[in-house]
Each structure stands twice: as structure tokens, then as C-alpha cells.
Chain A
């Protein structure tokens, strides 16, 4: 079973730590509580960043620290190679916020991580957080609070808006995983159903999906197959998007009858998942179900 539950003591290495974005997010993640124990930087190897040692390769960083988790801030063209390096070094949880990864590269990374038993979150994701424990990526602090709701999302900003509204009403999160908006990715909605079913802190799950692809339908099937007993909610963007036009996310594309809002809504509802029509309705519905 995939288990994304990290804690404040989970040792984490960071690939792409010395870039502009990398350095900035390194400091923000540490400030949140993430235990970053090493960075990978062929050029700056031997040195350190704010006291965190930098190594020339992933293998060296893993050997020296025994970390099995990597957060990557590397460019789209280098991402496949960076994932391959991490898998070869024995990393078991990889988070890749990078946008713009070529899809055929993602196919290769998907096959590799699946066959190696590695959990890959991304690409095109703000990352994941266990609120109060640790953050891998850049989900905004204002949207986070420890609580009973498991969140999975294809969209960063729509999940920020949702998380923020719920936190304002006193509903925090157990584990929040941004699966990302690309068509080919690592972890998908359905993959985490067994985890959320078993996780003691999680009392309900919210998926934030969008048109295109079949992940929402897969999630519906997984909910049924797993006998998922906790309340499950969904918010799906794009019901009014024109056919054949990309709205920002590569995965959010409707072709004919495939990937439409209605197909997703009916599959989810048939599995007992409550689908909300607006952010406001979602907030009221989730709060009513979880507030005591």
C-alpha cells in the first residue's frame, strides 16, 4: 500500500537545491518543519546550504544520510534523469513539482517507479503536506491545518482556495496530496484510496478534479472495490469548458464523450461520492459532515 504519511523526523534529501526556486523553497520547507538532511548538487558538492550538506550525487546523499525521500526542484528537461537517479539510489518517495515534463518522459518515469515500487508524486504539483509535520513542495501555509480531511487534487490553486475556505471554518487536513494536472503522472486519485481508508486520522476524503482523463472514474471504482466507508466528496472544475481546447492543464482536455464533466459526476455519484457544484456548496457540505 502506498503510504505518504511523512513526519517531522522523516529525513528528506533535495535534488535541485541550489537553483533560484530550489533555495527559496528549501528555506520555506525547513521553516515549516521538514527535516531536509542533504542536498544534491554536482557543482556545489562538499559545501553546504544553511548548514545542510551538499553531495555530488543522489547515491552519495542517500548513503550518507539514509534518507529514502526526495523532493526535486529540477527543470522539465532534466526531470526524467533526476527521477532515474533517485530510483537507482534507493529513494522510495519522490515528489516533483516541475511543470512541463514531456509526456513520453513521464511514461518512462511511470514505468520505472511502478516496477521499482517507488511512490512518485507529480509532475505539475504543489506537492504534499502532512499538516503540523512536514511539507514537500509549496502548498501555502495559510491553507494548512491539522485535521480530519484527506485532500487529493489535480489543481494547485483550486485546492488552495478549497483548503483555505475549510480551514477558515475549522476543518483541517490529515494528509494532503497534490497529484497534479498532467495526464501521465505518478500517484493517481485511486492509488491513495487504501491509504485513506486505513489512516486513523482521516475521517473523510475530498478529491479536487477536473475534466479530461479518467482519474475521477478510477477513483469511483476504487471507492467501490475498497468498500470505502468514510464520506467521500468531489469538486470538479471545467463543466463549461469547450471541447478540444486546453485550459491550462495538459490533462484537462475533452475529446468527444471522453473525460466530460457529466461522465465523471455520474461515475462518482454511483459510487456514493458526493459531487459539489460550487466552492461554496463544497465548503458548506464538508463542514456540515465533519464539524462536531
Chain B
């Protein structure tokens, strides 16, 4: 779960990290209602990817009028595939020194990579100039790594880095973070420090033991659509192309990803990614109904491709659930192409055949059927117009 900067700063602030005073704005009208922090302000679009500054999504202003214009200009913009749904407005802070501190996983050894440099800046992460230490995932080891990495920094920067590194390292471990980066970390002439930005990714698998983080997720479901969906329903669903024409009812993350890659390479636009986990259905069609209804929200969806490679799942049982789900999700009125392989294929053919759905065990043949359905649908729609 890649936290919005605002949520990351809320978590960090609660854990004793100094952050600039700020608030979250989800509409221009909300500007009138909130208690703004003291100006001048930074207006920062809240999206879970980097590169905001260069895209004009981090702006400074001293005037309240400009504030509204900046917020209104940012909301609704798309940055690297993510729609800006909110802005953080915070007191503009700066300091003579900008430092970078980061913690990330070192998966090869089961350790943590600690990065720190006394000269921060937007390009520091990609510059390759940041020194790092790979150490045991223990608070003392993380703190010691920052002590070593800041050894050549002048005072009072060195002292601030050591203090910030100790606090941040402890939070990284306690919050089940997989990434925590502060860039820039401002250091004032008197040695006081402050997190200017915050990039924090929390392990989705640990949400059950991180109530403060899952509370943020619940509070702002629309900002964390995919994580919230997984947290609530126990499977993965991602809309990958709002204008997509093919809905996917698929199981298995890797196979579904590969299928999307191949469809796109062949000029077909899939609407969604799905790992429905057939093993988790347990004789209940409600998950399939839910998914079909979500797919039906795609304005251009003209066909649904079901692709299940059954390792353990019995395809006869799956087919009965699929037929039931198609009956219970009448919103979806498009052709369904079914590609099934594995256990119980003959029974699946019978069950689906009775419901008027053909089963094609060969994926390439199934894609031909998809292509046919897509082209006849567009022809049909052309005829209506």
C-alpha cells in the first residue's frame, strides 16, 4: 500500500517525526471549510507515484486566490496513470540543508538497505550517488547504519541525520514498511529537522496487524482502490483501461498479467486485471457476481473472456457457479467466451453448453472468438447509430 504523502505524514507525525503543518483537500469548495495552516503554502497533488514536481503537481503560493486555482488545476489531472483525487496544502517550509534518508528491503539476504546522504534533491535517488549499508532488520542496526553514513556530514546536519535515522528506522520496522524515504529532510541552522516529503509503502500482508494503517485505508478507500478491494474481498481486481473493450474473468496473477500483455500486443484493449482465486469460491457464486457487475461498469466492454487453468479447482463446479453468476448479474449483456483447461472439463462443457456458452480449451482459439465478438459488436452498434 503506497501511502498518499498526506497519510504517510499523518502516520509519521503521530510517531514523533516533525512534519510541516498541513491538511487534505478533496474539492475546491472544501477550501472554504477547512482550517488552513499558516501560509505561504505548498500545494501538492496526492498520487501514489513520484515525479510530481517535474509534472507541475507541487506548487508554492502566497495568495489564497491562487490556492483555489492551483487546487482546481490539479484535481482530476492524470499523472503516470493515477488520477489526482486530493491535494495536500501545507505550510511552506525550507531550510539551508536538504538531506535524504531511505530504508528499503534487501531481499537477497533478508536485510534492510539503509540509504543516506547529506545532499538531498529531486534527482538524488536516481543519481546513484547515495551511499548505502545493508544491515539486519533491527532498530539498533538501522540507527547505526545512519550514524556511519552521515559520518562526514558537517554539524549540525550530522546530528540531525543521526536523530532522524534512529526515529525513522524504528518506524520502518514497527510499521511493517517495505519502503520509507524522506526526500527532502530539511535541516535548519539550529539543527532542527523536518520531513519535507514522505514516501512510504506498507506491506499489504501486514495490514491485519497494523490497525492504524488499515484505518487510513478504510477512511480513504477511493484513494487506495486496489488495496481496499483486496482487503475487503480477499482477491485482486484492477481496472487497467477505463476505455477497455474486453472484460476478464481470470484466475492467477501471473497468467492474467501475461494475458493482458498479449491482448494488448494484439490490439485488443482489456478493461481489467483479475485474480479471482477460484480456490476461494467454495461453492458460492457471489464473488463472480460481484466481478461481473464491476466489469459491467466499463462503458466500452463488449465481451467477457473467462480464462481458468484449473490445477485443483473442479471445472464442473466452477461452471455451475459461472452460469449462476451470469444469471444473477443481468446488467452484463455481452457475449461470454470461455476458455477452460484442467479437471472436469467434460462436465464443464455440458453445464456451459446447456447455458448456451461454448467452451474452448485452446487459448489462441478462444482469442479468435473474442475478436469475432468484438468486431460483430462494433458492427452492430454502428448499425444502430
Q: Footprint of B on A, CB under 8 Å? A: 76-77, 100-104, 106-111, 114, 126, 138-140, 142-143, 153-161, 164, 181, 183-185, 188, 208, 210-211, 213-214, 218, 235, 237-250, 252, 255-257, 277-280
Contact = CB atoms under 8 A, between A and B. Distances in A.
A103 B105 contact: yes
A239 B238 contact: no
Interface in B73-98: 80-82
Contacts of A143: 311
B178 interface: yes
Contacts of B343: 142
A32 B136 CA distance: 40
A71 B150 CA distance: 45
B379 interface: no
Contacts of A161: 255, 258, 309, 341, 363
A238 B252 contact: no
Contact of A248 (B80, B209, B275): B275
A244 B253 contact: no
**Dominant secondary structure at the B interface:** mixed
B261 A238 contact: yes
29 contacts: A104-B173, A104-B176, A107-B105, A110-B109, A111-B109, A126-B311, A140-B310, A155-B257, A157-B252, A157-B309, A158-B255, A158-B257, A161-B258, A164-B341, A185-B107, A210-B254, A210-B257, A235-B258, A238-B261, A242-B80, A245-B226, A246-B226, A246-B238, A247-B273, A248-B236, A248-B256, A250-B203, A278-B261, A279-B258
A111 B138 CA distance: 12
Contacts of A76: 205
Contacts of B51: 256
B21 interface: no
Contacts of A181: 253-254
Nearest to B125: A256
Contacts of B205: 76, 100-103, 250
A149 to B, nearest CB: 18
Given A104-B176, A108-B137, A248 B253 contact: yes
B254 A237 contact: yes
Contacts of A280: 364
B312 A138 contact: yes
B203 A279 contact: no
Interface of B: 2, 48-51, 80-82, 105, 107-112, 125-126, 136-137, 173, 176, 178-179, 203-206, 208-209, 226-227, 236, 238, 240, 251-258, 260-262, 264-265, 273, 275, 309-312, 341-343, 363-364
Given A100-B205, A103-B206, A248-B275, A237 B258 contact: yes
Given A157-B252, A248-B236, A248-B256, A104 B203 contact: yes
B262 A279 contact: yes
A110, A153, A157, A240 pick with most chain B CB within 10 angstroms: A157
A245 B364 CA distance: 28
A277 B107 CA distance: 27
Which 3 A-B residue pairings sit nearest by Cβ, starting from the closest? A155-B254, A157-B252, A248-B253
Nearest to B107: A184
A111 B136 contact: yes
A278 B265 CA distance: 9
Contacts of A213: 107
A223 B373 CA distance: 45
B126 A246 contact: no
Contacts of A184: 105, 107, 110
A102 B206 CA distance: 5
A108, A155, A235 pick with most chain B CB within 10 angstroms: A155
A208 B136 contact: no
B136, B261, B265 pick with most chain A CB within 10 angstroms: B261
Contact of A109 (B110, B260, B311): B110
Nearest to B234: A100
A101, A241, A245, A256 pick with most chain B CB within 10 angstroms: A245
Given A111-B111, A244-B2, A244-B82, A252 B309 contact: no
Given A76-B205, A103-B203, A155-B252, A244 B48 contact: yes
B311 A156 contact: yes
Contacts of B309: 157, 160-161, 164
Contacts of B136: 111
Contacts of A153: 254
B107 A183 contact: yes
Given A218-B108, A243-B80, A257-B126, A157 B264 contact: no
Contact of B261 (A140, A157, A240, A243): A240
Given A158-B254, A240-B264, 10 more contacts: A155-B257, A157-B252, A157-B256, A161-B363, A184-B107, A214-B107, A242-B81, A246-B226, A246-B238, A247-B256
A256 B50 contact: yes
B204 A246 contact: yes
A153 B309 CA distance: 16
Contacts of B209: 102
Contacts of B258: 158, 161, 235, 237-238, 279
Nearest to B262: A278
Contact of B257 (A100, A156, A185, A252): A252
B108 A238 contact: no
B279 to A, nearest CB: 9
B50, B108, B109, B275 pick with most chain A CB within 10 angstroms: B108
